[in-house]
């Protein structure tokens, strides 16, 4: 059994000058702002297979993509539209980019919809 947390997943396209982010989420009249830590984004890079038989193995390694990722824990996030503004900053704190978009917070079920435990999550690409 695994769990899921309600919140907002932020994926930032590769950009060498990004050092920080500010995320503001609004649903209805309720708005909140966070300054989450950014983590380097990774992707699996195939390393080949030993064959095609059921007992053969394949491998992959993680490589940095140049992008960034974070997850903002929003305990009382509700299912439905959320207006999200992301401000990217450089190491000095200067604003690099600002984007506002509406994302749909949808229920995710880490163990499948028949097992319950659904929580709302939204994903924002920047």
What is the band of 8 on the pLDDT scale with cuts at 50, 70, 90?
very high
Least confident of 27-31, 50-54, 58-62, 94-98: 27-31
- For the segment 108-114, the average pLDDT, to the nearest whole number, is 84
Residue 18 has pLDDT above 80, yes or no: yes
Looking at residue 111, what is its pLDDT?
83
The whole-model pTM stands at 0.83
Tokens of 49: 């297979």
Per the prediction, the chain carries an average pLDDT of 92
Phi, psi at 125, each rounded to 5°: -90, 140
Residue 36 has pLDDT above 90, yes or no: yes
CB-count burial class (<10 Å; 0-12, 13-18, 19+) for 10:
buried
Higher pLDDT, 51 or 115: 51
Question: Which residue ranges form the domains of the chain, and what is each CATH number?
Answer: 7-47+56-120 (2.60.40)
Asked if 84 and 122 touch (Cβ cutoff 8 Å), the reply is yes
Residue 1 has pLDDT above 80, yes or no: no
How many other C-beta atoms lie within 10 A of the C-beta of residue 107? 13
What is the band of 28 on the pLDDT scale with cuts at 50, 70, 90?
confident
Distance CA 84, CA 116 (A): 27
């Amino acid at each position: 059994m695994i769990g899921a947390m309600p919140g907002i997943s932020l994926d930032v396209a590769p950009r060498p000058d990004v050092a920080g982010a500010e995320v503001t989420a609004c649903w209805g009249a309720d708005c909140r702002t966070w300054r989450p830590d950014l983590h380097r984004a990774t992707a699996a890079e195939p390393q080949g297979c030993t064959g095609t038989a059921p007992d053969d193995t394949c491998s992959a390694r993680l490589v940095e993509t140049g992008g960034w990722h974070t997850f903002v824990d929003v305990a009382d996030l509700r299912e439905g539209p959320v207006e999200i503004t992301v401000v990217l900053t450089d190491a000095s704190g200067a604003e690099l980019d600002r984007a506002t978009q509406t994302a749909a917070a949808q229920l995710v079920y880490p163990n499948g919809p028949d097992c319950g435990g659904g929580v709302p999550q939204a994903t924002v690409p920047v």
